[in-house]
Amino acid sequence: MAKEAILHQRYRRTIEKLNPERVKALILAMFDYAESGEHEELDEVTDIAFTSIQEQMEYDDLQYQEKCDKNRENIRKRWNKKDTTVYDRIPPYTNDTNTKSNTNT
């Protein structure tokens, strides 16, 4: 699991229906689940609320992992090219450089 948990606005309606002790238990369970993939035993009402949030947490984590994989692949494509041209850079002294380009300046 990721080391963070996103607190979505849509959780508000569920959280508002819980008493303060259950809200605290729910939030702590979210932190525990985000950190280790496990959480302490919850009472029945809090567990029902956590189950719907847990599904969203798993989805968010999956989306994040897919984004990281995609970014990793893009970085690999960019920096591991075998056909890169090391010397096709902007010359530091452009007025004193003979270039192969056909410029009329």
Quote the pLDDT of residue 82. Answer: 65
Q: What residues contact residue 25 under an 8 Å CB cut-off, 6+ apart?
A: 40, 42, 43, 46
At 43, the pLDDT band (50, 70, 90 cuts) reads very high
Rounded mean pLDDT, 89-101: 64
Residue 7 contacts residue 29 (beta carbons within 8 Å) = no
Would you call 6 helix, strand, or coil by DSSP?
coil
pTM above 0.85, yes or no: no
